[in-house]
Amino acid sequence: MKKLRKKVYMTAGFNTVSLGTGRKEFHPKKPRPGIEHYIKESGEGTLSKIGGGKNIDESVIGNFMAARFNKQANLPGFIPMIDKDLHGKPATSVEGACGSGGLALMAGIRSVLAETADVVLTIGVEVQNTVKAIYGADILAGAGWYQERKKGHAYFFPGQFSDRAGAYFEKYGREKSRKGLARWFRNAIENARLCPTAQEFHNKVEDLEALGMSEPNGRTFVDNLNVFDCSKVSDGASSIAIVSEEGLEKIGIEKKDAIEVVGWGQCEADITAPPEDLTTLSTIKMAAEEALASAGITIDDLGTIETHDCFTIAGILAVEALGFAKPGGGADFVAEGNTARDGKIPMNTTGGLIGWGHPTGATGVHQAVTIWEQLTGRAGDAQINIDPKKPYGLTINMGGDDVTVVAIVYKRG
């Protein structure tokens, strides 16, 4: 099947601060911005680069649980608030748990391919610091099969991925696996320190790997992961414009300042069925293989990757799903520094979900913004060296426990 009948680009990315514990300006007892603030700030950030709302044909907003975290639904109605020229234009919201941002990107891509739009404003947003962590865990459990909620851990998703980590430890060895998880955490924080909008930007801990090696305590959290193995509760939004060639001309942006979408994979697993193998992210594997095949490239052509590390074990398993290491070899591959910013395949160069933060509905869009920044040389202190022979980037956005997955391949325009 031919996926791309015409060229599709992304440009003009923008991230708000990812706000939560770790940021100096965050205080749990002080009033904080609402969801409308993040939608407006991120939307204005992109529109300011492309000539304003008059150049937008339609908009898409990705969000997971505003109806529960913020008691707010009907999010498309916030789009005209961003710019008066968006009033009367189509807007749509999409939801796929933590993969909502990736679904928003796919909706924008399909609108351009369907020729119903030349310029699509795409936003991902989540504001989660509105409830205590234990209540938030219950809300986030909706990303899984909720009928299993009572059988799961009080911290439902940490419990799910703790089970994955435990199975990995048992199968491949606990000590070496823990070292891989700790190195993933170290990479995330070191990269976040280079990105001013990252939740862990202010982190000053010296020995990050020692912190990452902290022993899990099942009495206070989960059995096989410590709190540093987990992405934090985050508030934030990201936005980017998805455009056709005609759209680039319309907004006055050259191809060198955009990235081209050259392939994708979108895969869904049965949310009611448990994983066949806890040590494999099979849906990520399918989506990534489909994305690379449709782009006509291999993993050896990739210059950088943004993968969905909601937990450090998800990062290790993604390395294996992509084929950089054999089953059981992902922890060693990471521990050896291969996924660091100066490694064989730099991953999550602004911190990923663990370092930059995980405003759930925003994550997929944030990943695309990071790839746009890296491939066009706009990443500031977080910029890595992109080998001219490897001009491609890949994003992998996962909703739930390997259920909803969007993988997209990009190339500098």
Q: What pLDDT does residue 3 have?
A: 82
pLDDT in tens, 295-313: 999 999 999 999 999 999 9
pLDDT in tens, 327-350: 999 999 999 999 999 999 999 999
Is 78 a residue whose pLDDT tops 80?
yes
What domains are defined for the chain?
8-132+233-257 (3.40.47.10), 150-232+261-412 (3.40.47.10)
Q: Tokens for 348? A: 């999550």
Whether 104 contacts 60, CB under 8 Å: yes
pLDDT in tens, 130-157: 999 889 999 999 999 999 888 888 889 9
The rounded mean pLDDT for the chain is 97
**374 membership: H or E segment, kind and range:** helix 363-375
Q: Going by C-beta distance under 8 Å and a sequence separation of 6 or more, which residues neighbour residue 59?
A: 43, 76, 79, 86, 89, 90, 91, 92, 120, 121, 122, 123
pLDDT in tens, 7-65: 999 999 999 999 999 999 999 999 999 999 999 999 999 999 999 999 999 999 999 99
Alpha carbons 313 and 352: distance in angstroms, whole number: 13
At 90, give phi and psi (nearest 5°): -65, 140
Instruction: Tell me which amino acid residue 228 is.
Output: F
Is 2 a residue whose pLDDT tops 80?
no
